Chains A and B, each alone.
Chain A
């Protein structure tokens, strides 16, 4: 649906995007993750045709009217009603669209009760949902969402993420966020953008399994520090860190190695074990390992 080849963007001496090869498959929810300033908004703006790229190629398999864009903080004339914004949006992109579609998207976004109110009185979350309603009303085949939930309170964020999740299968979605938990929750494919470079791109599970160092979390009763000290001498355990709450985090050569030999190693280290299991890898950890923990999210 979207492919870029060697896409670069410079602002004077500053490199905003550096040879980005983006590949977004049709029907996927692609999460473009990265810290603020990574180049996400610039990349989306180029794909939306709002900015020029300096070099490289961009290919989008959709007509311009089939591409919908939602900026991070959508704003509309405050004297319009919510319904009027959606009607206007439909008239601009799909003037022959069914009138019932307006009611449908207002209902989907939870704005049916507020549709007649002027949007000057809408909350931030309502504006975001209105932006999504105005985006969906034209039934686009490609939706570009720039940080759609980042500035919302927990409830607003939940509503927007649920909405995006419900769009699965109806359109291709490219969704940028610096909140990795949001990307991990709704996206099936992920791209990690850092300092203008795409460090990883692929299915989310590949990133979580492939990039992260395997770890085990062991919950102990008693002196975790002493156990950690003994385990550091084991050849296939590269690090052992004891937490204040009796939790020991072990970096191991491989999960298979640990499954086979960890019980014995713990017994030899005289550990009183409450539980142990492989650490569930988060996107945040995978991201930090990919970027060498260079930038705090």
Chain B
């Protein structure tokens, strides 16, 4: 058994793959449905209360993807952080950390499978969600721009890779699983707040999460070149920070 097999088993035996896939695919299936039948759903829920009538414009294909992304990026990020922290916070139970650290001299040998396997799982789950949302949007609302879908999906994948890199860096410095999840979420929530300043917002990696929703509407790929470059530059730095933290011995 290798450290790679260990990570595949972690995903499979702890049902994390099921939770990941479930969250993204369910949102992928529900998003276009909600967009198509929003008016009817609100009518059923009593949409004309107090004499107020809400009129919705006719849904367009982009609405199906926007619904998916709105839900999947928020809940999906939370699930992705938890799954990644479960693999990367290997010192959270010190005795487990000792097992690895006293047998594997290179921290990269420990870290790489724990980075790659969750990242691949999150990517597959996100893409499956996109495929589900795309298919159902095509059936219920109409065709989507293929180029925009591919570009937006690629940027979404990059966003989740960034999320895993953030978790990796945090996990090696705070060590506990709960603290890793909390600090990672604080980082990921704080970044968009910095984006209140437009000059910063244009470069923020967290913008990539919603890129797909924007690109199937009015947005252009050029708007996301800045965040993509920053993300590609930030990821090696975050991984370097993770490796430095992992190498740190208790002083």
Q: List chain A positions with a Cβ less than 8 A from chain B.
A: 45, 48-52, 64-65, 67-69, 71, 73-77, 79-80, 84, 87-89, 91-93, 134, 138
* Sample of 20 more A-B contacts, CB < 8 Å, known A49-B102, A92-B103: A48-B102, A50-B250, A51-B249, A51-B250, A65-B105, A69-B102, A71-B94, A71-B95, A73-B95, A75-B99, A77-B96, A79-B10, A84-B1, A84-B9, A87-B1, A88-B6, A92-B104, A93-B103, A134-B99, A138-B103
**B102/A68 in contact, CB under 8 A:** yes
Find out whether the CB atom of A80 lies under 8 angstroms from the CB atom of B103: no
Whether B105 pairs with A64 at a CB distance below 8 angstroms is yes
Interface size on B, residues (CB 8 A): 23
Report how far A49 CA is from B1 CA in the complex, Å. 25
- State which of B13, B250, B251 has its C-beta within 8 Å of the C-beta of A79: B13
Query: Would you give the shortest CB distance from B97 to chain A, in whole angstroms?
Result: 9
For residue A279, give the distance in angstroms from its CB to the closest CB of chain B.
40
B99 and A76 contacting across the interface, CB-CB below 8 Å: yes
Q: B53 at interface (Cβ–Cβ under 8 A)?
A: no
B1-25 CB contacts (< 8 Å) to partner A: 1-3, 6, 9-10, 13-14
B interface residues, Cβ below 8 angstroms from A? 1-3, 6, 9-10, 13-14, 93-96, 98-105, 249-251
B1 touches A88 (CB 8 A): yes
Instruction: Assess whether A52 is in contact with B98, with CB atoms less than 8 Å apart.
Output: no
Q: Inside 8 A of B104's CB, which chain A residues have their CB?
A: 92
Whether B102 lies near A76 (C-beta < 8 A) is no
CB pairs A–B below 8 angstroms (22 shown): A45-B250, A48-B98, A48-B102, A49-B101, A51-B250, A52-B250, A64-B105, A65-B105, A74-B95, A75-B93, A75-B95, A76-B99, A77-B6, A79-B13, A80-B9, A87-B1, A88-B6, A89-B99, A89-B103, A91-B1, A92-B104, A134-B99
Q: Are A76 and B96 in contact (CB under 8 A)?
A: yes
B112–chain A nearest beta-carbon distance, Å = 14
| Chain B residue with the shortest CB-CB distance to A74 | B95
- Please measure, in the bound complex, the distance between the C-alpha atom of A65 and the C-alpha atom of B105, giving whole angstroms: 8
Q: How long is the Cα–Cα vector from A287 to B151 in the complex, in angstroms? A: 73
**Cβ B249 vs Cβ A52 within 8 A:** yes
Taking a contact as CB atoms under 8 Å apart, the answer to whether B102 and A67 are in contact is yes
A79 CB contacts on chain B under 8 angstroms: 9-10, 13-14
**Cα–Cα, bound, A73→B99 (Å):** 11
